[in-house]
Amino acid sequence: MASPFNMPDEFVQGFFKAGQTLLQAYTGAAGHAGDAPSVPANQPALALAQAQAHYWQQQMALYTGMMARATGMSTEPTVQPERGDRRFSSEAWRDNPWYSLLKQTYLLNSRLLNDMVEAAGVGEKEKNKLRFYARQFIDSMSPANFPVTNPDAIKTAVETQGESLRAGFANLLEDLKHGRISITDESAFEVGRNVAVSKGSVVFENELFQLIQYAPLTDKVAERPLVIVPPCINKFYILDLQPENSFVRFACEQGQTVFLVSWRNPDAELGHITWDDYVESGAIKAIEVGRAISGADKVNAVGWCVGGTILSSALALLRARGNESVESLTLLTTMLDFSDPGDLGVFIDEQGVSQREQTIGRGGIYSGGELGFVFQTLRANDLIWPYVVNNYLKGGAPQAFDLLYWNADSTNLPGPMYAWYLRNMYLENNLCKPGRLSMCGTPVDLGRIDIPSYVFGTQDDHIVPWKGAYRSTQLVGGDTQFVLGASGHIAGVINPASKNKRSYWTDGKLGDDPDAWLESAKSQPGSWWTHWSNWLKPHAGKEIAAPKKPGNAKYKPIEPAPGRYVAKHPPELTGA
């Protein structure tokens, strides 16, 4: 059973398994079939001894420094937080001898634990798990996370005469009701009011998704429309947050007719939905409707994250059927080869996947709250602990931030789809193997997607490591271009051209080695959006007059965008 904060069973079980593995590594009992130790068997004890010796040397230096400081001498800290670590930014951690000692002791203990993990004689897969769970433990044990050892929390409590503690407890009780930690002021936003505000109409719906056609922003538009398949693990409006950072609006401003899939947030009624349903009744149907409404010979397709995986599966299936209705493919931070799943891989093993198959694989729902917690743990010092400190220790309220509002708007997944996805993508990595998987009764081969492809990855992506995204260039057919953006999985994609921030790399030499590509690539300042728009133009067809109204005789407008499927608490959906 999940914790009050939607902590999934895999996380709890993995935490204890990691501790057991580390203990066994230093007692000679570790053994992992098929996963050869990355450190020779005779070295862990020596490496541990060296780490301990270094630790005690630093502890002695810390003690000596504190004694010297007590006599009025100026000394440099024995250990400093890593660059970008904001937990110890207040002056008290630096100027107060007690808090300085507490901080440095914590940092030394953290480094010792990390050194023990690196020296453990286990295979690389197990070591990745040890690194992840050691980081979770280290982050959770920071003295900044506890009221009696956080100088800012104590100062605030004194200044407010204890009101901050009362408010913090009230915040905790409120979050426990909702089963998650508040990371933004959710009252500041409302879907359709100040996020997801681009004008458009829902022109099709079934039980799985609504298709939104956005209103044109230019007199002339490209003949071939753009069909976007976003992730089904989050809601679509990450692509249409506010006008100044809306990818949808940018595409419309470039003369594109944009159709976008709005996945329904599954409830028990959709507990039977499979991966094939997402491919056939989702992506393929969206392509069919977008093409029919526009009257074009082909469409251009964009997929992001698991939306890109669904879209690529759909295109492989269409090509196997001889269907050539898609002109080009854009993949944004998408994995097709799951051999390096990043930190998410620590949650995937045969036992965990089998457990999901037995519990929800034949029917049921995987909670979006649990999935949201998993993603938060990947960046706990950004998405968990700062809010614990601010909301509970200091009694504060989180600030309003549109991206975090979207991040907290979790989405469930149908059990059969989720279990199949875990096994065939993350556990067995079957999609990248030609003919290994059949979808809708047809074997699929990504190599048959013989159309131009724009593959985009982000340098600091913790969900889809950029080298994993790069491998898609070696799997799909046709002319392929890879572009690497700065920043992470979300901020790297949502990088508005109007703000001209960050940078990207392009024009590297494509081949098997992503590092070789990066060495030969050119760095470009600003947003990749403009580069992508220029790439898309030759595939967009001629210019035609912008449509005067959405839909057509067969697919008539149903309701204004953003539609009811994206609502936090959608009304009953009958007759879909």
Q: How far apart are CA 517 and CA 533, in angstroms?
A: 22
**Residue 428 · residue 421 · CB < 8 Å:** no
Catalytic-residue membership of 305: yes
Query: Angle formed by the axes of helices 151-159 and 163-178, to 10°?
Result: 110
DSSP secondary structure, 278-308, as one string: IIIIIIIHHHHHHHHHHT-S-EEEEEETHHH
533: enclosing H helix or E strand: helix 528-536
Catalytic-labelled residue, pool 252, 305, 432, 440: 305
- 10 Å Cβ neighbour count for 382? 14
The stretches of 449-521 forming alpha helices (DSSP H) are 466-470, 514-520
CA distances from residue 34 to 44, 124, 126, 427, 461 in whole angstroms, order as listed: 20, 11, 11, 14, 28
**Residue 309 · residue 303 · CB < 8 Å:** yes
Residue (of 487, 520, 524, 527) closest to 505 by Cα position: 524
Q: Mapping DSSP to helix (H, G, I), strand (E, B) and coil, where does residue 334 land?
A: coil
CA distances from residue 283 to 235, 286, 289, 301, 486 in whole angstroms, order as listed: 15, 5, 10, 10, 28
Looking at residue 489, what DSSP letter applies?
Answer: T
Residue 109 in tokens:
């203990």
By annotation, the residues acting in catalysis are 305
